[in-house]
């Protein structure tokens, strides 16, 4: 048995940026051949209500972040207007959905007072209201494609919930031809999807170029139950979906999958 669990395995990485680069390094270290084709990117969103949200910040009982990007773009929007130290010393409390979101908030020296045991909006909405907490008004900085689950759960409890779109998620098309070639050549063994958007953009390419037969040959790894459900609704099987919704956990599970496969051969 090889000491490198991904020896000779070609892995599609659909996330760009620092996280995508790290994923590539991890794959290569495990003996795999990574192909980074970003199928998702982000940019600031110009919300006409931004000034009003910023003005009301001291009035919110909780500010709830559903993603690392939500944290970073929130502070991008407020940095020239609000003193973070003043925000830290205010009565506002912060909540996050997941570990990476918490780490992002930590970098601004702000503590998260609540994080669900499972990193989904549904689990946040369920677990938050089992705590001994009170709120009259909350703010949810989020992306344009994020669900309304958390906001609706607060509203169902009679709590004012404002959703501030601080960033847009979009499909960067510049490397489409690279992905088409990889699929046509059947070069890939694994495709790793970090969000529903990455898979949806992948399927746009697959359908446009009639590559369904090639895509069906792939081993599919996903992060999160929502991404897994999105893949399955298209009729594809999800082979790997870690319980912990992080790229690091997905990498570990991909390695374990091939280790077990080799052991059983």
What secondary structure does DSSP assign to 119-185, as a single string? Answer: -SHHHHHHHHTTSS---SEEEEEEETT--SHHHHHHHHTT-EEEEEEEEEEE--GGGHHHHHHHHHT
The pLDDT, as a whole number, for residue 155 is 95
Alpha carbons 233 and 253: distance in angstroms, whole number: 22
| Chain centroid, CA 111 distance in Å | 21
Is the domain of 104 the same as that of 209? Answer: no
Instruction: Name the pTM for this structure.
Output: 0.79
How far is Cα 66 from Cα 151, in angstroms, rounded to an integer?
11
The closest of 52, 63, 65 to 87, measured between CA atoms, is: 63
User: Cα-atom radius of gyration of the chain, to the nearest Å?
Assistant: 20
105 φ/ψ angles, rounded to the nearest 5 degrees = -65, -35
In a domain, 80, yes or no: yes
| Domain range enclosing 220 | 10-40+172-264
User: 250 is written with which tokens?
Assistant: 């997905």
Shared-domain flag, residues 183 and 223: yes
- Contacts with 15 (C-beta within 8 Å, 6 or more apart), sequence order: 23, 36, 38, 39, 40, 192, 194, 198, 247
- The pLDDT profile of the chain, 265 residues, written as one tens digit per residue, is 458 999 999 999 999 888 899 999 999 999 999 999 999 999 999 999 999 999 999 999 999 999 999 999 999 999 888 888 888 888 999 999 988 899 999 999 999 999 888 777 888 888 888 887 779 999 999 999 888 999 999 999 999 999 999 999 998 888 899 999 999 999 999 999 999 999 999 999 999 999 999 999 999 999 988 899 999 999 999 999 998 888 999 999 999 999 998 887 7
Shared domain check, 149 and 190: no
Characterize 65-100 residue by residue with b for buried, 16 or more Cβ atoms within 10 angstroms of its Cβ, and e for exposed.
bbbbbbbbbbbebbeeebeeeebeeeebbbbbbbbb
Instruction: Write down the pLDDT at residue 206.
Output: 96
Judge if 198 and 229 occupy the same domain.
Answer: yes
Q: Is the domain of 101 the same as that of 31?
A: no
> At which of 170, 189, 213 does a domain end?
170
Classify 113 as helix, strand or coil. strand
Measured in residues, the chain has a length of: 265
Q: Is residue 3 situated within a structural domain?
A: no
Q: Helix or strand or coil: residue 214?
A: helix
Both tokens of residue 245?
């919704």
Instruction: Specify the pLDDT at position 218.
Output: 97
pLDDT at 2: 54
Mean predicted lDDT score pLDDT of the chain: 92
> What is the rounded distance in angstroms from the CA atom of residue 48 to the CA atom of residue 111?
29
Q: The domain that contains 123 carries what CATH number?
A: 3.40.50.10090
pLDDT value of position 207: 96
Picking from 170, 195, 213, the residue at the C-terminal end of a domain is: 170
List pLDDT tens digits, range 175-211.
899 999 999 999 999 999 999 999 999 999 999 999 9
Number of domains the chain contains? 2
Residue 86 lies in a domain: yes
Q: What is the DSSP letter of 240?
A: B
In a shared domain, residues 112 and 128: yes
| Residue 232 in domain | yes
pLDDT given for residue 28 in this prediction:
97
Do 158 and 219 fall into the same domain? no
């Amino acid at each position: 048995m090889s000491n490198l669990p991904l020896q000779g395995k070609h892995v599609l990485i659909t996330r760009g940026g620092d996280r995508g680069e790290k994923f590539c390094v991890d794959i290569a270290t495990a003996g795999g051949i990574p192909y980074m084709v970003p199928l998702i990117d982000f940019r600031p969103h110009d919300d006409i209500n931004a000034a009003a949200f910023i003005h009301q910040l001291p009035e919110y009982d909780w500010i709830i972040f559903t993603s690392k990007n939500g944290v970073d773009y929130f502070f991008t929007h407020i940095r020239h207007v609000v003193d973070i130290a003043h925000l830290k010393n205010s009565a506002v409390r912060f909540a996050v959905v997941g570990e990476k979101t918490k780490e992002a908030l930590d970098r601004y020296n702000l503590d998260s007072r609540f994080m669900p045991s499972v990193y989904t909006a549904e689990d946040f909405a369920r677990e938050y209201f089992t705590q001994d907490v009170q709120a009259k008004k909350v703010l949810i900085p989020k992306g344009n494609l994020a669900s309304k689950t958390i906001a609706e759960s607060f509203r169902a409890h009679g709590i004012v919930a404002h959703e501030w779109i601080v960033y847009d998620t979009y499909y960067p098309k510049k490397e489409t031809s690279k992905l088409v070639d990889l699929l046509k050549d059947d070069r890939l063994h694994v495709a790793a999807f970090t969000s529903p958007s990455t898979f949806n953009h992948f399927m746009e390419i697959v359908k446009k170029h009639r590559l369904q037969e090639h895509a069906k040959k792939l081993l599919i790894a996903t992060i999160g139950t929502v991404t897994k459900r999105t893949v399955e609704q298209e009729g594809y099987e999800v082979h790997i979906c870690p319980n912990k919704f992080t790229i690091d956990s997905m990498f570990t599970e991909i390695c374990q999958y091939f280790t077990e496969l080799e052991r059983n051969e």
